[in-house]
Structure 1
Amino acid sequence: MNKVNIVLFSDTVYDLNGVSRFLNDFAEIKSDNKFTIITSTKKTAFSQKENIYNTKPYFKISMPFYSELDLVFPNPFKMAKRLKQLSPNLIHISTPGPVGLIGSFLAKIYKIPKAGIYHTDFPEYIFKNTNSKLCREISKRYLRFFYRNFDAIFVRSDEYKKIVINDLKIDKSKLFTLKAGIDTKKFSPSFRDKNIWCNYRIKTDTLKFLYVGRVTKEKNIKFLIELFKEISLLGKPIELIIVGNGEFLKYKEELKKYSINFLGVKQAEELSKIYASCDVFIFPSTTDTLGQVVLEAMCSGLPVIVTNEGGPKGFVTFSNSGIVLDIKDKKGWLDSIIKLYEDRNLQNIYSQNAKTFMLDNDIKNSYEDFFMKNSLLC
């Protein structure tokens, strides 16, 4: 494989989300290939890296319907100058925001091949937050416009190929699946430490179900809360641990009586310990293209419960590491929670299968797969 020099443009690099963690993990890998990220943000959730070029935006606003992300207005001239200095043979666009638009425009100006990564299902996020089919259709039309002249589109899971073909009207010959991967050194059962629950005033001897991600409507957090309200009425020693930020955090105090615990945003080793010190991961989202947090949970040795929509179900089904359910089947979710509470042997089987599956899903394998497939485009 010839050496590849890729410059990736992204609107989300220092945000607290799976895409940002994925890109920062990529940026830490050393190889013969060259990988540089260009972004524009005032956020600082991750440490600065020499191969991430961050130009200060002129100004920013919160993204409509998705307030956790910023819409920034960057300096295109500084980005163009840096791009010329880097002289890539391929431009990658990670997000369809202002930074991605600039990257796409510069690729056209300098006649550099461009590819994209479809990280986020914005049409469904917008629909979940607005219940507006019109808003969903407008976002689909925008994405079709944005991606129409790309040489290739990478999706995060095979589940999303059909969605991208239908929603974006992309020819399937241009589609690639980017191998899933996380930094497996950061997530492991070895981080398990039941004493951490004392710090949060949570009982140490209960079965703990964990959710990690945005605590927002489009992630079906209301559904999750209602599930565990019903579970609490059964009087069993079961807790729900919620890690993340978002609109439902305001109910933190009143939900404690149902053994629902909001811990807020957690990072680094503290997050690793929380994963490994819980017993089951539960993820009711139907709009995730991959579900980075699901892979982190599996790497930590947790059985998982996910929906039958989106990217995570493929990993869970293939590895037999948990349970896949229809989001409309509330009884099925309740029964599965109780089943995993009562059957510790089943827990252990799912846990072992999850750990085995993740042996081949280190971020380095994803990185190598990424460059191998991109070398075909240069």
Structure 2
Amino acid sequence: MKILLFTDTLCDTNGVSRFLQDLGTHCPAFHLVTATRKSCNLPFKNWTNLPVRLRLAMPFYPQLDLSFPSYAHAKTLFETFDPDLVHVSTPGPVGLLGRALARKYHKPLAGVYHTDFPSYVHNNLPLWGLKRLTQMSMRWFYKPFSLLFARSQSEIPKLQPLLHKTLTLFKAGVDTQVFTPLALPKEARLTLLYVGRISPEKNIGFLWEVWEILQNLLGPQAVQLWCVGECTHPLLRTQGEALGVHFLGKQPKEALPALYAKAHLFVFPSLTETLGQVVLESLSCGTPVVVSDQGGPRTILASTTRPCGLILSTRFSSTWAHAIKSLLLNEPRLSAMAEAARAENYDIKTSVEDFLAVHVRMRKEEAEPEGSTKEEG
């Protein structure tokens, strides 16, 4: 089984890139194709970096490039590799190229809906007409796909209008060799941790409101907030600094487990996540989480065997502040949640095996002659 996977993000610091790097490491059936001018030291050889003909900064997220690759090089790679099917991970220039080549050579086409782009655009530029245009673009892009993976159960209703064939759930996973509980002492001060882009679509303005109230409830010397990730919105950084937020910048994944271990609670108020890879990472490291009642993170918590955190409405920031205060001051409850989180198993190998098995089934179904009847049962 040979699969070409086209992605616009592979050498970046985000959940999609981390999953794809894990996929490349654990599943050589996938050959990853990207286009970037960034340095990328990957621990596997089954990937190709196409020459970049044009590079633009992604709107609202300048740290991420929109790289337009060489069509001639991609075409040669495609013909040489001769894939059984094509997987498109992102709807950017590289994804568009993969989509076009799959259609040109009549190869089955699969994909993952990693990012809720209509909501992403609307949160940064709240114009309903633009959101509607983005929704129409997504429908056009995914129309020829035979298979589309949803990152969480909450995304399936949104994705059903995009596809005429198969929609399936993506079994989530993280590298549990990296994201594992560490025997490190907690910070002396009660510590909240956020990992992700510091930008409007992550609902960071709401997090600042929660943080300000929480400091008033507990006292500024009793609690601290660490934020890990790129800040794409200077005003948010200025506001955070005025509230005493500690910005730790972009961190390699190898540094994250220690931060998860030292923190008492992971907070993630985003409303637009299709999954929330950092929530899985926090739980795998044994750190309880607080997430919003919208999007993929709530489905992660809802599927745990024992309570590992809180699912809260973001209607009122005071609700979050008081709930976090109560949890931080209830050591037995917090410890029970941490123990429950450590007991959950999100091994990436299981996720990758399931991911590949679905592609194999799809290929067999696509290969069946038209008009043939499958046995039932």
Give TM-score, length-normalised by structure 2.
0.91
The alignment partner of 1:377 has SS state of helix
The alignment partner of 1:263 has SS state of strand
Which amino acid is 2:318 matched to?
A: K
Q: Is the CA contact 1:60–1:72 (under 8 Å) kept in the aligned structure 2?
A: yes
- Alignment partner of 2:247 out of 244, 252, 262: 262
Structure 1 residue 275: Cα displacement? 1.4
Other-structure match for 2:49: 54
Other-structure match for 1:198: none
Structure 1, residues 309-346: CA drift from partner, whole Å, max 9, x if none?
Answer: 11110111221211111111322201111011111111
Q: Is the CA contact 1:93–1:117 (under 8 Å) kept in the aligned structure 2?
A: yes
Structure 1, residues 104-158: CA drift from partner, whole Å, max 9, x if none?
Answer: 1111111111111100000000000001111111111111111101111111111
CA distance in 1, matches of 2:354, 2:326: 38
Other-structure match for 1:199: none
Other-structure match for 1:210: 193
Q: Which runs of 4+ in 1 moved over 4 A?
A: 248-257
CA distance in 1, matches of 2:104, 2:179: 42
Structure 2 unaligned blocks of 5 or more: 364-377
Other-structure match for 1:83: 78
Other-structure match for 1:8: 5
Structure 1 residue 299: Cα displacement? 0.5
Other-structure match for 1:346: 333
The alignment partner of 1:123 has SS state of helix
Deviates more, 1:144-153 or 1:241-250: 241-250
CA distance in 2, matches of 1:348, 1:76: 54
Other-structure match for 1:39: 34
Structure 1, residues 68-107: CA drift from partner, whole Å, max 9, x if none?
Answer: 3221111011111112222211100001111111101111
Structure 1, residues 345-378: CA drift from partner, whole Å, max 9, x if none?
Answer: 1111211222222x2x211101100111111111
CA distance in 2, matches of 1:8, 1:268: 22
The alignment partner of 1:375 has SS state of helix
Which amino acid is 2:319 matched to?
A: G
CA distance in 2, matches of 1:249, 1:271: 24
Q: Is the CA contact 1:252–1:261 (under 8 Å) kept in the aligned structure 2?
A: no
The alignment partner of 1:218 has SS state of helix
- Alignment partner of 2:290 out of 263, 286, 305: 305
Q: Is the CA contact 1:15–1:44 (under 8 Å) kept in the aligned structure 2?
A: no
CA distance in 2, matches of 1:41, 1:48: 17
Structure 1, residues 280-330: CA drift from partner, whole Å, max 9, x if none?
Answer: 000000111010000000011111100111111011122121111111132
Other-structure match for 1:174: 166
Other-structure match for 2:361: 376
Other-structure match for 1:197: none
Q: Is the CA contact 1:303–1:347 (under 8 Å) kept in the aligned structure 2?
A: yes
CA distance in 2, matches of 1:272, 1:259: 23
Is residue 226 of structure 2 the alignment partner of residue 241 of structure 1? Answer: yes
Is residue 282 of structure 2 the alignment partner of residue 290 of structure 1? Answer: no
The alignment partner of 1:227 has SS state of helix
Question: What RMSD in Å do the two structures reach over aligned CA positions?
Answer: 1.8
CA distance in 2, matches of 1:279, 1:249: 27
Q: 1:124 to 1:250 in 2, by over 3 A?
A: closer
Structure 1 residue 250: Cα displacement? 6.1
CA distance in 1, matches of 2:43, 2:178: 18
Structure 1 residue 192: Cα displacement? 2.8
Which amino acid is 1:158 matched to?
A: Q
- Alignment partner of 1:145 out of 131, 140, 143: 140
Structure 1 residue 253: Cα displacement? 7.1
Q: Is the CA contact 1:191–1:272 (under 8 Å) kept in the aligned structure 2?
A: no
CA distance in 2, matches of 1:342, 1:128: 34
Q: Is the CA contact 1:115–1:151 (under 8 Å) kept in the aligned structure 2?
A: yes
Structure 1 residue 44: Cα displacement? 2.9
Structure 1 unaligned blocks of 5 or more: 195-203
The alignment partner of 2:148 has SS state of strand
The alignment partner of 1:272 has SS state of helix
The alignment partner of 2:353 has SS state of helix
Other-structure match for 1:64: 59
Other-structure match for 1:229: 212
Q: Is the CA contact 1:16–1:45 (under 8 Å) kept in the aligned structure 2?
A: no
Q: Is the CA contact 2:290–2:310 (under 8 Å) kept in the aligned structure 1?
A: yes
CA distance in 2, matches of 1:244, 1:191: 24
The alignment partner of 2:361 has SS state of coil
Other-structure match for 1:201: none
CA distance in 2, matches of 1:225, 1:268: 25
Q: 1:144 to 1:251 in 2, by over 3 A?
A: closer
CA distance in 1, matches of 2:254, 2:178: 7
Q: 1:351 to 1:45 in 2, by over 3 A?
A: farther
- Alignment partner of 1:29 out of 26, 29, 46: 26
